[in-house]
Amino acid sequence: MLTMKISELPNAQAVFVHDDLDDLSAAVAQRVVELATQAIAVRGVFHLALAGGETPRRCYQKLRELTIDWSRVQIYFGDERCLPVGNAQRNDSMARESLLDHVPIPPANIHSIPAELGAREAAAIYAALLDRIMPLDLVLLGMGEDGHTASLFPNNPATESASSIVAVFDAPKLPAERVSLGMSTLNTARQRIFIVAGKEKRAALKKIIEGTSLPVARVAAAEWHLDRAALPEEKDQCTQGTMRQEKPI
């Protein structure tokens, strides 16, 4: 594992560069186990919000091979697409296929966003649920090629909302109607981890390093895990490093 200067990514708490997606996924899976163990020891429960998209899939496959007291894990989702339950493009479908169907987690511990009801109704229902348990212990996040995270897109009104859960309309990627954790919910979580892989992410990372205020750059004190392919070319010179000690969550 390699490390970049934290100052190169605004608001980053720590930045780690891995050789490839497999190494990245293994490292993040291990971090989830560490943070879960800490939270369960302190509070008896671990509130985890999963990221959607394709990049986290390998991490979830790695995670199911590790040991966690799943009976004490409560699962939430960073965002969801307004599609019917069971649709293959839903984030909860991916999470079930890659992780949740393979671990002994009680079904009642999995809290899907009811996005099939439409963005406004689903956001209100999910806000009522999360407002009772926040802050979340850990939010896993990805980054889109345009610098969005969860379903908080550049120049979309939902990204500016102060609500804990936001209804998203006119998203630039289909489906255009979604539900997302709000920026305030992301920034009050005890821990935030970005999982970013692939050369398609280089341009967005370069913009962030140069100071562009993309949604991902507004997530505070996050731990970033990148693969080498995602690095802007001029930043692909790193030195050996180790993960720094994190405060217990």
Q: Sheet containing 165-168: give its strands across.
A: 79-81, 178-181, 165-168
* Calpha distance 27→3 (Å, rounded): 13
In degrees and rounded to multiples of 5, residue 189 shows phi and psi of: -60, 150
Distance CA 16, CA 117 (A): 39
Give the number of other CB atoms < 10 A from CB of residue 37.
15
**pLDDT tens, position by position, 18-43:** 999 999 999 999 999 999 999 999 99
SS3 187: helix
**DSSP H or E stretch at residue 36:** helix 21-43
Residues 145-179: pLDDT tens digits?
999 999 999 999 999 999 999 999 999 999 999 99
Q: What percentage of the chain reaches a pLDDT higher than 90?
A: 85
The pLDDT assigned to 120 comes to: 98
Which pLDDT band, with edges at 50, 70 and 90, does 10 fall under?
confident
The string of pLDDT tens digits covering residues 75-126 is 999 999 999 999 999 999 999 999 999 999 999 999 999 999 999 999 999 9
Please report the domains of the chain, with CATH numbers, ordered by start residue. 2-232 (3.40.50.1360)
Query: What token pair was written down for 23?
Result: 């190494």
Which pair of tokens denotes residue 77? 């989702």
| E strands present in 27-122 | 46-50, 73-77, 79-81
CA distance 14 to 3: 8
Backbone angles phi, psi at 31, to 5 degrees: -65, -40
CA–CA dist 191, 170 (Å, integer):
29
pLDDT number for residue 5: 55
Distance CA 159, CA 38 (A): 31
For residue 205, what is the DSSP state?
A: H
